[in-house]
Amino acid sequence: MAVRTGVIGTGRWASDTHAPALAAHPDIEFAGVWGRDHAKARRLAEPHGVTAFLTLDELLAAVDAVVLTVPPTVQPEIAVRAARAGTHMLLEKPLALDLPAARRIRTAAEEHDVAGLVFLTSRHRPEQRAWIAAARERGGWHSGHASWLASLYDPAAARDATDWRRAKGALWDVGPHALSVALGVLGPVGEVVARPGAGDTVHLVLQHGVLQHGVLQHAPGPTSTMTLSLTAPIQQSLFTAVGTAGALPMPTPLSTVETAAATALTDLAAMAATGERAHATDLRFGEEIVEVLTAAERSLAHGRPVTCAEVRDG
């Protein structure tokens, strides 16, 4: 049976990526749209012949799953409401802008037994996902190098507190993408050093840990470095794993973001049907990324290394 799925939000990601993916998916019934601006919700819904709901509660009552396309400033509140309504979720990155909010989403999903995935394009593009899995299985990596750059903003312009992306910068916007690959290949992070660059550019050094029986050990594992920017003069999303056998670059995007969205929807529909809740980009992984970002933010503020254990313990 098709999974009745709605869209929450009316921005570009909703109209250009997720709504077409929902409408075309064979295992999904695109059931409707809700947004704070009802006129925009109607404009998004009409081409697909679906309902523009007046309230969030009406949408949640009519669907099995939702795709959230809203900023991280409001996503936690909406996601918790969706979880409490028993609705499976595909969420935006970052999951939240602080660790307690990310934990609230995960806890609500667990308490109400709903599936939750974070939409991270490099983990849902089929060829990049296959590369990450193969690299992780191969192992033997002692380092990794990521460069996630965009030219969205003037590096000399002041931060705009009303725009979460401008206010939080590349660390929180493109950082989740870079981390999704680095953690996928090299494993969990134990310690972070962050230093500022030009504009909103941030340079990270991540000490990955060694997992034994699910517990992160003190013995260091591989080290990765990252350069993240929304004020760079070029656009690139690159990751290279380096080990004793040489360097292995991640394939650059070959499929579209629409393909990534369709893959994510396929996974969410399968989780809804089978009751499986664990996934490579599940809510625990989304929370782990927020934890690393928080450690990096503290490192920037205090000028010292910060462990993820410090962040977890408050």
The dihedrals phi and psi of 287, each to the nearest 5 degrees, come to -70, -40
Cα atoms in the Cβ-side hemisphere of radius 13 Å centred on 186? 30
∠ Cα 62 22 15 (to 5°):
100
Which residues touch 254 (CB under 8 Å, ≥6 apart)? 125, 127
The low-confidence residues of the chain, meaning pLDDT below 70, are 210-219
Q: Which CATH code of 3.40.50.10210, 3.40.1410.10, 1.25.40.10, 3.30.360.10 fits the domain covering 123-251+288-312?
A: 3.30.360.10
* pLDDT single digits (tens) 59-112: 999 999 999 999 999 999 999 999 999 999 999 999 999 999 999 999 999 999
Distance CA 314, CA 312 (A): 5
Cα atoms in the Cβ-side hemisphere of radius 13 Å centred on 119? 25
Distance CA 211, CA 94 (A): 24
Q: What is the model's pLDDT at position 314?
A: 78
Domain range annotation of the chain = 3-120+259-282, 123-251+288-312
For CA atoms 28, 65, 278, 227, give the dihedral sign: positive
CATH class of 3-120+259-282: alpha beta
Distance CA 4, CA 29 (A): 5
The pairing of beta strand 65-68 with beta strand 3-8: parallel
For CA atoms 127, 128, 129, 132, give the dihedral sign: positive
44 and 100 Cβ atoms separated by less than 8 Å: no
Distance CA 193, CA 296 (A): 6
Q: What is the model's pLDDT at position 216?
A: 58
pTM: 0.95
Q: Which two tokens mark 267?
A: 């996974």
The pairing of beta strand 231-243 with beta strand 246-249: antiparallel
